[in-house]
């Protein structure tokens, strides 16, 4: 047992082997009475008919391997494990608990929960698995928690594999989920959900939440979402993750955000993949609510970042979120960005783009246009470069009833798509559809729109980067 103790730094190193007790719960109780310890499971399947409870600090529950040390519920309405207390007055009571190398499983997908963790500090779940349940893992009001290299799968309709919940009065701070895989096998299911606790409705936030190197698999099932953000977030980073075959969205940050929440998050070096037969309709859905104090700031970057087989890479459903895109590949889809038409409040994103790779059959991306415009669209979009030297800038007007306008400039080179930035200068003239340039040369270009301005002319501003 020396190697086990070397791996697990527990507050009290005494070992409680389940084989020496009448049940797993008896061994847990003995460890709690001892002030902590290691509860060691055999390589076998354990059947429980009521939840196992860990309600004291310093307890480590460890198996030999998640495939051979399993705990399975005997009935559909029995959760397998509960750590901590649902009472908000007990927040922070349970500290330094670990779960390692154990497989938790419900007998049917209709079970309400599989594992729940409440109000803990420094909780770790490592190299374990959770299978089935309408919610696989619930973590509420847990600070400094770490989930490492776990396999979590739900298969019920509408199920949530991992549900991270803010407490009724506190932020969730400095938590991480790294490695492992989260599977969604049921229709309309969610891989990971970030939300307020039921009935909370507060503007508390997830602070310093890190999601790294996780594989999210939607298994090409209808309505599935990889990550659903329904709570305030600050300093939240999703890095080096892979999203595969989610049919509704890879990341949805557009629902239940109407109470003044601030949603700041970054996607860094992630791969968002569809399959050959069913493209993900939307990769990322954003919204900035109209409630006072609400704000959305989304950054997507990283050389490994990739949108693959999508209809809308980023879909803005309402409001004016700040969007920053740089150093990413979005070359196999339809619209890099689409703004909802007729949204309330009007969808007018503030978008900054730089160093993008786009192409293939990307509709709404001829020449400099990266966005599917709508009647409400008034914000700027183009191939922005951050800090760069201008060679030329000016404005051009498409007259009412026309679909083209000539631009004249005098350059010492022929610019390409990545050298030109062009945006609508006003809302007059209505929706002109797609925008692109043709006949580009050192002396000028032709601006094209798919729909002629109606009632009044439409003016555009342009900038050309020095070659």
- For the domain spanning 2-390, the CATH number is 2.160.20.10
Give the burial class of 64: count Cβ atoms within 10 A of its Cβ; 0-12 exposed, 13-18 middle, 19 or more buried.
middle
Domain segments of the chain as ranges:
2-390, 391-467
Residue 441 has pLDDT above 80, yes or no: yes
**Which has the closest alpha carbon to 304: 272, 347, 280?**
272
Query: Which residues, 6 or more positions from 325, have their beta carbon under 8 angstroms from its beta carbon?
Result: 299, 300, 301, 314, 351, 352, 353, 354, 356
As a CATH number, domain 391-467 is 2.60.40
Cα separation values, 321 from 33, 310, 351, 374, 447, Å: 52, 21, 8, 16, 28
At 331, give phi and psi (nearest 5°).
Answer: -110, 0
Per-residue pLDDT, 340: 76
How many angstroms separate the CA atoms of 6 and 61, rounded? 15
- The per-type count for the chain, helices as H runs and strands as E runs, is 2, 39
Nearest to 162 by CA among 126, 133, 196, 198: 133
Residues in the chain: 467
pLDDT tens digits along 288-332 = 877 777 888 898 888 677 888 777 788 888 887 888 877 777 766
How many CB atoms are closer than 10 A to CB 9? 10
Query: From CA 338, how far away is CA 52, in angstroms rounded?
Result: 48
User: CB of 159 within 8 A of CB of 189?
Assistant: yes
Lowest mean pLDDT of 36-40, 81-85, 357-361, 422-426, name the range: 357-361
332: tokens are: 């196999």
Q: Which residue has the tokens 């503030």?
A: 350
pLDDT at 199: 46
Please tell me the pTM assigned to this model: 0.77
Whether residue 180 is predicted with pLDDT greater than 90 in this model: the reply is: yes
Q: Is the pLDDT of residue 361 over 50?
A: no
Rounded alpha-carbon distances, angstroms, from residue 177 to 88, 101, 123, 251, 311: 23, 16, 12, 16, 29
| Matching residue, tokens 């989610």 | 246
For the segment 217-257, what is each residue's pLDDT rounded down to a tens digit? 998 788 899 999 988 888 899 999 999 989 899 999 988 87
């Amino acid at each position: 047992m020396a190697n086990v103790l070397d791996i697990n730094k527990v507050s009290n190193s005494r070992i409680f082997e389940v084989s020496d007790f009448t049940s797993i719960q008896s061994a847990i109780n003995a460890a709690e009475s001892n002030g902590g310890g290691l509860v060691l499971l055999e390589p076998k399947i354990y059947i429980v008919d009521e939840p196992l409870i860990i309600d004291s600090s310093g307890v480590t529950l460890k198996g030999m391997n998640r495939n051979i040390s399993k705990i399975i519920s005997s009935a559909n309405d029995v959760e397998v494990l509960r750590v901590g207390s649902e009472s908000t007055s007990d927040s922070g009571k349970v500290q330094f608990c670990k779960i390692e190398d154990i497989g938790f499983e419900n007998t049917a997908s209709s079970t309400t929960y599989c594992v729940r963790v409440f109000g803990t500090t420094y909780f770790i779940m490592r190299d374990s698995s959770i299978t089935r349940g309408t919610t696989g893992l619930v973590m509420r009001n847990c600070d400094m928690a770490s989930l490492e290299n776990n396999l979590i799968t739900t298969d019920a309709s509408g199920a949530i594999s991992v549900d991270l919940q803010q407490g009724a009065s506190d932020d969730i701070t400095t938590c991480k989920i790294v490695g492992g895989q989260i599977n969604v096998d049921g229709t309309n299911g969610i891989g990971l959900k970030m939300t307020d606790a039921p009935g909370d409705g507060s503007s508390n936030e997830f602070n310093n939440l890190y999601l790294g190197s996780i594989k999210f698999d939607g298994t090409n099932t209808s309505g599935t979402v990889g990550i659903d953000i329904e709570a305030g977030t600050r300093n939240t980073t999703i890095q080096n993750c892979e999203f595969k075959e989610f049919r509704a969205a890879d990341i949805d940050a557009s629902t239940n955000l109407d109470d003044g929440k601030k949603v700041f998050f970054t996607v860094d070096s992630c791969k968002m993949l569809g399959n050959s037969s069913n493209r993900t309709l939307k990769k990322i859905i954003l919204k900035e609510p109209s409630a006072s104090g609400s704000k959305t700031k989304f950054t997507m970057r990283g050389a490994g970042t990739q949108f693959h087989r999508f209809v809308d890479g980023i879909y803005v459903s309402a409001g004016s979120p700040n969007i920053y895109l740089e150093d990413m590949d979005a070359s196999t889809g339809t619209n890099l960005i689409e703004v909802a038409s007729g949204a309330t409040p009007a969808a007018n994103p503030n978008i900054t783009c730089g160093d993008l790779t786009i192409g293939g059959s990307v509709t709404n991306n001829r020449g400099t246009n990266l966005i599917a415009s709508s009647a409400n669209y008034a914000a700027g979009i183009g191939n922005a470069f951050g800090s760069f030297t201008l060679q030329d800038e000016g404005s051009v007007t498409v007259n009412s009833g026309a679909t083209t306008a000539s631009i004249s400039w005098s350059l010492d080179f022929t610019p390409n798509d990545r050298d030109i930035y062009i945006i609508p200068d006003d809302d007059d003239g209505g929706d002109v559809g797609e925008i692109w340039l043709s006949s580009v040369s050192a002396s000028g270009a032709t601006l094209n729109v798919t729909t002629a301005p109606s009632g009044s002319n439409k003016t555009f501003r342009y900038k050309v980067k020095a070659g």
